[in-house]
């Protein structure tokens, strides 16, 4: 028991920095949990009804705490931003230990160990829906949605990797899923990610405090295996073990919530090419209308200077005098030139008559 408590404290110390920084997470978060046995198989259970528009399914999983493995029920949660998908966490065998790879939100579903979690998570990608603009479209062939209230639906049957038998909950090792990430999935791991939401953390804390969720008590058959609202483990909107302990039953009714309030966190990424089928998840940035006072710049192609006007030669053209200027008049009458004074003949000195 002392060893288990030490392992739990190590796990909590490593997870605390991620919970303290909202909006960021790493694709590969390893929590060193030294456990001598593998996590239990994933139970089969019906999916509760989707509570409203904008909610996305997050499958249940086996977590580890001070009392050993315990089951965190699958639930519907609001996506933290338009265009984001949930990549589930998974256990993997490496170096003689089982390591936990935490789940995260991102623009593309990444590698989650090839684990068949069901309801769209068949080991690779997500087949339960896709984003188109700001709306999420649900695949009603494998997800439980009420088409009376949710109209963004389509139908595309998808076969899971495992239809019967035991669903293994870890990757690698003896009896584990022998799948490795593809180069494309390794690229997804380098994208910007968003940590689990407050609703998901609340779901985990309530499961940790519930003794019926611990493997030491239920031997792999938890009392509550899924619920319609995160953190709510009572009422008719939960999937619980039946009275005969032979399987799980769901008695929930349709109580859809109003449309989800759209999100504030955004992921910067270039849009992908729309696939031929909607099973490949893609991120599309939110389209915002331009403000009314926006005027696009006018671009002039190869501007040329305007040539000066051509002035026609007109002999009768008489320019008008400029304002505030003195106009000098020119005498156009014929001018008779007088002879110089020195050239006149001098008068006779005695009579005054000209010579």
Does a structural domain hold residue 205? yes
Radius of gyration of the chain (CA): 43
Does a structural domain hold residue 339? no
Q: What is the pLDDT of residue 277?
A: 43
Sheet-wide strand order for 153-154: 129-132, 135-139, 153-154
Q: What is the pLDDT of residue 298?
A: 52
Look up the domain containing 51 and give its range.
2-250
Q: Is the torsion defined by CA of 124, 283, 86, 150 positive or negative?
A: negative
Does a structural domain hold residue 304? no
Distance CA 193, CA 287 (A): 21
Does a structural domain hold residue 332? no
Does a structural domain hold residue 271? no
Q: What is the pLDDT of residue 158?
A: 79
What's the total number of domains in the chain? 1
Ranges of residues in the chain whose predicted pLDDT is under 70: 1-36, 159-165, 253-355
pLDDT in tens, 55-80: 999 999 999 999 999 999 999 999 99
Does a structural domain hold residue 275? no
């Amino acid at each position: 028991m002392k060893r288990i408590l030490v392992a739990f404290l190590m796990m909590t110390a490593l997870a605390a920095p991620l919970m303290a920084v909202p909006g960021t997470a790493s694709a590969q978060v390893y929590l060193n949990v030294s456990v001598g046995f593998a996590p239990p198989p994933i139970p089969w259970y019906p999916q509760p009804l989707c509570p409203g528009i904008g909610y996305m399914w997050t499958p249940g999983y086996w977590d580890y705490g001070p009392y050993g493995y315990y089951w965190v029920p699958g639930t519907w949660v609001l996506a933290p931003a338009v265009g984001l998908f949930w990549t589930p966490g998974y256990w993997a065998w490496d170096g003689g230990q089982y390591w936990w790879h935490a789940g995260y939100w991102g623009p593309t579903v990444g590698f989650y160990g090839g684990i068949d979690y069901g309801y769209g998570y068949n080991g690779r990608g997500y087949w339960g829906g896709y984003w188109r603009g700001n709306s999420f479209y649900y695949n009603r062939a494998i997800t439980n949605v009420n088409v009376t209230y949710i109209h963004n639906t389509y139908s595309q049957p998808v076969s899971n990797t495992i239809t019967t038998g035991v669903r293994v909950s870890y990757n690698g090792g003896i009896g584990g899923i022998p799948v490795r990430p593809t180069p494309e999935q390794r690229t997804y791991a380098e994208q910007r990610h968003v940590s689990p939401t407050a609703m998901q953390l609340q779901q985990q804390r309530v499961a940790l405090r519930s003794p019926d969720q611990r493997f030491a008590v239920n031997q792999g058959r938890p009392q509550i295996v899924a619920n319609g609202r995160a953190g709510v483990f009572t009422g008719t909107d939960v999937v619980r073990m039946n009275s005969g302990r032979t399987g799980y039953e769901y008695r929930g009714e349709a109580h859809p919530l109003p449309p989800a309030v759209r999100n504030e966190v955004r992921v910067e990424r270039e849009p992908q090419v729309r696939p031929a089928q909607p099973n490949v998840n893609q991120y599309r940035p939110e389209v915002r209308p331009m403000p009314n006072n926006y005027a696009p710049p006018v671009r002039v192609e190869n501007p040329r200077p305007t040539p000066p006007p051509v002035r026609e030669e007109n002999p009768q053209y008489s320019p008008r005098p400029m304002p505030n200027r003195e106009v000098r008049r020119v005498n156009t009458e014929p001018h008779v030139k007088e002879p110089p004074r020195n050239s006149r003949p001098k008068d006779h000195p005695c009579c005054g008559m000209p010579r």
